Amino acid sequence: MTVRLRGAVAPAAVAAGVAVYVTLAVGGMRRQSATFDEGSHLPAGYTYLKLGDHRLNPEHPPLVKALAALPLLFMDVTVKPDDEAWAMRRQWEFGKRFLYRWNDADRLLFWGRLPVVVLGALLAVSVFLWARARHGLPAAVLALFLCVLSPDVLAHGQLVTTDAGIALFMFLSVVAFDAASRQLSAGRLALAGLAAGLAFATKFSAVLLLPILTGLALVAVFAPGPMSLALPGRARRELAGRGARLGAMAALLVAIGAVSLAVVWASYGFRSPLSPDPGVESAFEWSRVEPDGALERPVAHLVRASGMLPESFVFGFLRFFKHSEPRPAFLLGRVSSAGWWYFFPVTFLLKTPVPLLVLLGIALATRRRHARPGRDELVLWLPVAIYAVVAVVRALNCSWPPAAPRPGPGRASMRLGARRSSWSACSAPGTRCRRRSSTRTTWPT
């Protein structure tokens, strides 16, 4: 194979993979009516952009909803701020009127879903690039096509929901943090902070980035591997001592937090209130979302009083936290108010395609036996392990949660293609299984 031909393989593979995904996603979404969440998410996103008002659907951060509504700004769309559903904050009633009474629902849904298709395509490209950098072209091509043909990606990558977005941005957060922990530079720090901020601006389950990035920072400190500091205007230097590495990781986490905070504020248009209307703002019942714990309640009051985060974000997160309390669950013919620790392992086995389970089994069976895992392997599996622990210990058992661990197709594909392991975000935390109907099992976040 000539050098020119070899160099054309990667762009051709990416183009083919993205073309397959876009064709399947666009073809599928044209035949799908609005799912339950879309009836709220798309109208809410449009009002965020058009009216600067976050009264609708505060239980989810605004980023993906606003991205989906962006094409609608260039269309002739009718919205009625004098409608009773808008004044009373009845998001589902307002959404039905917005889509089906005032506008052409099929037209709005088509254009609103396209930005989500773009997010799915970016996820596939990100999986390819990261896999190629770690394990070579053959593994990257296999991971790419397993990603674009994943039922999760195809289902959620064509809907105005937060699932495709959180999968993309959490994957990028882990990848960018790993790169920054190997060589600390202003550019890598900014990218890691941007990715984490986009995740927090997409879905509240991104809060699990806190233990994930902390764990990855400890891996960078104690696992063998290079770490260098490349500050602007200074010569690059290696960090060999544990103390220096620990200080560098602590500074990196603080800096990422600061950048993430700025991104979250930007996603709310640097506006704090839930609504610019004082009457609507005062109607939000904070007492209903305040946590009951002796520790959580004063912390919530402190965060809100500090003004560090937009009130819209704080209210939405507290509602997310409140709705994560136990509720009746059903599994294998039984009903429980307390749930089962094995709920998500069982649903993972039941809902994951059998060929993928077989590939994962082969990947584990052919894993090289090391005395202890290296840094690359820890980076791959630590996020999955943290999600697995959270899924097992959480009392809320409801469908397949966005915070559940899903070892992705890329993990198996790169074991098979390069005899190495990988974590593919095409089934990354943040996705959930969707029923092929106009409604679906929802997760209250």
Residue 189's pLDDT band (cuts 50, 70, 90): very high
Cβ-in-10-Å burial (0-12, 13-18, 19+) of 351 comes to middle
Return d(Cα 198, Cα 310) in angstroms, integer.
15
pLDDT tens digits, 289-338: 888 877 888 888 898 889 999 999 999 999 988 877 667 788 888 888 77
Pairing label, strands 228-230, 183-185 = parallel
- The answer to whether 180 and 252 have CB atoms below 8 angstroms apart is yes
Angle, alpha carbons 16-17-20 (nearest 5°): 85
Mean pLDDT over the full length of the chain: 84
pTM across the whole model? 0.86
Span 170-196, mean pLDDT?
Answer: 95
Positive or negative: CA dihedral 107, 108, 110, 111: positive
Q: Looking at this protein, which amino acid is placed at residue 186? A: A
Structure tokens at 380: 């791959």
Span 25-50, mean pLDDT?
Answer: 93
Asked whether the predicted pLDDT for residue 195 surpasses 80, the reply is yes
pLDDT of residue 225: 82
Structure tokens at 85: 């559903």
- The answer to whether 224 and 234 have CB atoms below 8 angstroms apart is no
- The answer to whether 99 and 43 have CB atoms below 8 angstroms apart is yes
pLDDT tens digits, 346-399: 888 888 888 888 888 887 787 766 556 678 888 888 998 998 888 888 756 665
pLDDT of residue 348: 85
Of 27-36, 101-110, 226-235, which gets the smallest average pLDDT? 226-235
